[in-house]
Structure 1
Amino acid sequence: MAPAAAGPAPAPGAPLLQVEDLEVVLPAGAGTGTVLDRVSFVVDAGSTTGLIGESGSGKTMSAMSIVGLLPPGAETAGRIAWKSEDLLTAAARRIRQVRGREIGVIFQDPLAALNPIETIGKQVGEILRRGGMPRQQVRARVLELLDRVGIPEPEQRIDVYPHELSGGMRQRVMIATALAGEPQLIIADEPTTALDVTTQARILRLLADLRDREGVAMLLVSHDLRVMAHVADVVVVMYAGRVAERGPAREVLEHPRHPYTRALAHNVPAVSTKSAIAEPLQGAPANPFDRPAGCAFHPRCPMAQDRCRTDVPVLREVEPGRFSACHFAERVES
């Protein structure tokens, strides 16, 4: 018997998680740095929201803020509404209850996240034991979870250690661990990084199947637009700790309304609708601790004008359901 989820899940399509004007300030040497600046997005029940951007864009920081896994000394503002409960003001004990039981987390590096001196069966079963499942029932439930995520011959693998499994199998163990508490939301942080193309496809199919078959909502963090094109319903494009663009995944990826999104799309031939050849993204990502004045993307933007160098663009609705933080969003071509 699985541990009961805390409270009923909203109906499919209803807001499950709402992040509103999230700000995170971290110590930076002698001063401080705002690494997340008024970040807002929603995850609906039974859907997948994708956070995408280059390294340092703030996507992982946004995701980890939800489950209280920020670096020491971080200061936060805004609101993270989990089924109307504000997790930013919740007690640490409550956050620990939510993490694992109501919100599962799949970390980027399963080899680092898994304990090397404990068997995978013991690690997957830890959430079950914490949830009060009788010890004699835990092993059977772990075997069920391992089978559910496609671990072959789970009876033979339940007592192995992480280093005895392939990268793809370790990632499946992480997914089984995330599912153990019967969560309503799974946060997947770069779940296919460092996996070969074939294994990536299998993991993505597994995540999509969990969403479609069991109604588990997902917040997917990735730098790979191909991943988003296969899995996400809504995409939030981040740059230098701010939201650059937000909207339905297919529309955003095929018809971007921000020059940064366009550059990302044209840097991946499989996603670009206009070019069969990848166009390298010029320049280095902006440092959120030392953003340039105006639009943070302007030093790399081929559309930049004087206004972009002085005025920070506001995230605004440019089409129904489409939002862009670009002064000239209507002029961006796919």
Structure 2
Amino acid sequence: MTLLDVRELSVLLPARSGQAVPVVEGVSFEVRSGSVTGLIGESGSGKTMTAMAVLGLLPEEASCSGELWWAGEDMLAATPARRRAVRGHEISMIFQDPLAALNPSQTIGRQVSEILRRGGASRSEALASAQALLERVGVPDPGRRARQYPHQLSGGLRQRAMIALALAGEPRLLLADEPTTALDVTVQSRVLRLLARLREESGLAMLFVSHDLRVIAHVADEVVVMYAGRVAESGPAREVFRAPHHPYTRALLASVPSVRAKSVPAEPLPGTPANPFDRPPGCPFHPRCPIARQVCTQERPEVRSLTTGRRTACHFAKEGS
């Protein structure tokens, strides 16, 4: 069952000139119940802005269009009160930097129990449930940790506390914005295993935002590759990584060092990412594309279906794959 259906989502922000510029444009994807959809791309590709639009946390100066269907209801057409009711309960978010996301002046237990109190639980019931949640996400000695402040916890424990906070409202969809970027490899692996276990236990669906292809390949069922605020390619993660159709996806994969074939060097992407406020004409990737032709500099490719479940925005999709 489709929980989240994003259709032609666009987000506009004012540029220095005062003109509204699309930083996310025409993005479409689905998140099904119990599945993980990965949003991947370089910094500035629009991944986080897309996730913020889903949760209704865009900056005040931003404008949003398209459709955001959540369990059959268009959230862009919903009232602010309805969106607040969904946020934190039906849909929750794990932020990239838990130290910045958590309130430094409140204990971990109080922050986790606050959502439970809003659901009608008494103070003692909420605190007990908060400690149980901390234990569920692998926080050792949850009673003591619940009395501590965010700065007193390690990075890994703060991220687990952030996950407990996101789970407090018993959401059906979890938005994870680069949840392992600030962690070392060992802690990163533990957090990924924790998220996989939570998914298996409760059928939790996830929209997983990351620039790390290896993380997305490990966790995602479907993948959406974004470039300059637009979808470059999408489809089942295993198929996209096995046989990418878009040259940007191939370039991303080539830039990842191989563990098995150490003799094959990684190939960094040439050039710099396109600026959403100053996109080149035609295909935004053409200045960096090894197969770009004249049409690529003049005409923007539309996202089109190639095979069942596979979509790409390239005039010459599959060439070189």
What corresponds to 1:25 in structure 2?
12
- In the alignment, what sits opposite 2:120? 132
> Letter of the aligned partner of 1:191 in structure 2?
P
Q: Give the % identical residues.
A: 62
Q: 1:310 aligns with which of 294, 298, 311?
A: 298
User: Residue 6 of structure 1 corresponds to which residue in structure 2?
Assistant: none
Q: Is the 8 A contact 2:258 2:265 kept in 1?
A: no
Kindly tell me: are residues 270 and 250 of structure 1, through their superposed partners in 2, closer, same or farther at Cα, counting changes over 3 Å?
farther
Aligned residue for 1:162?
Answer: 150
1:132-164 CA distances to partner (integer Å, 9 max, x unpaired)?
122221111011100110001111211000000
What per-residue deviation string (whole Å, max 9, x for no partner) do you get for residues 73-113 of structure 1?
A: 11111000001111112111211111111001101100000
Conserved 8 A contact 1:47-1:216: yes
Is the 1:258–1:332 Cα contact (8 Å) retained in structure 2? no
Structure 2: distance between partners of 1:273 and 1:219 = 31
Q: Deviations over 1:14-36 (max 9, x none)?
A: 10000000011111112221111
Query: For residue 8 of structure 1, what is the aligned residue in structure 2?
Result: none
Alignment length (residue pairs): 320
Aligned pairs for 1:132-281 (under 5 A) are: 132-270=120-258, 276-281=264-269
1:41 maps to: 29
Q: CA 1:273–1:38 in structure 2 vs 1: closer, same or farther (change >3 Å)?
A: farther
Report the counterpart of residue 270 of structure 2 in structure 1. Answer: 282
Contact 1:253 1:271 in 2 (8 A): no
Match in the other structure for 1:80: 68
Which one-letter code corresponds to 1:18 in the other structure? D
Counterpart-to-counterpart distance in 2, 1:145 and 1:36: 35
Partner residue, 1:320: 308
Whether the 8 Å CA contact 1:254–1:271 is kept in 2: the answer is: no
Stretches of structure 2 that go unaligned for 5 or more consecutive residues are: none
Distance 2:26 2:39 in 1: 15
Q: Distance in 2 between matches of 1:330 and 1:222?
A: 24
Quote how far apart the aligned CAs of 1:234 are.
0.3
Secondary structure at the aligned position of 2:163 is classed as: helix
Question: SS at the partner of 1:105?
Answer: strand
Amino acid at match of 2:120: G
SS for the counterpart of 1:143 is helix
User: Unmatched 5+ residue regions in structure 1?
Assistant: 1-13
The answer to whether the Cα contact below 8 Å between 1:225 and 1:271 also exists between their aligned partners in 2 is no
Secondary structure, aligned partner of 1:289? helix
* Deviations, residues 141-199 of structure 1 (Å, cap 9, x unaligned): 01110011000111121100000000010000000000000000000000001110001
TM-score normalised over the length of structure 1? 0.93
Give, as a single letter, the amino acid of the residue that structure 1 aligns with 2:277.
F
One-letter amino acid of the structure 2 residue matched with residue 68 of structure 1:
G
In structure 2, the residue matched to 1:11 is none
Contact 2:174–2:207 (CA<8 Å) still a contact in 1?
Answer: yes
- Give 1:36-115 correspondences, 5 Å limit: 36-115=24-103
| Residue pair 2:96, 2:182 contacting (<8 A) in 1 also | no
User: 1:332 Cα deviation (Å)?
Assistant: 3.3
Amino acid at match of 2:129: R
Question: Is 1:21–1:79's contact at 8 Å kept on the other side of the alignment?
Answer: yes
Please give the root-mean-square deviation of Cα atoms over the aligned residues, in Å. Answer: 1.4
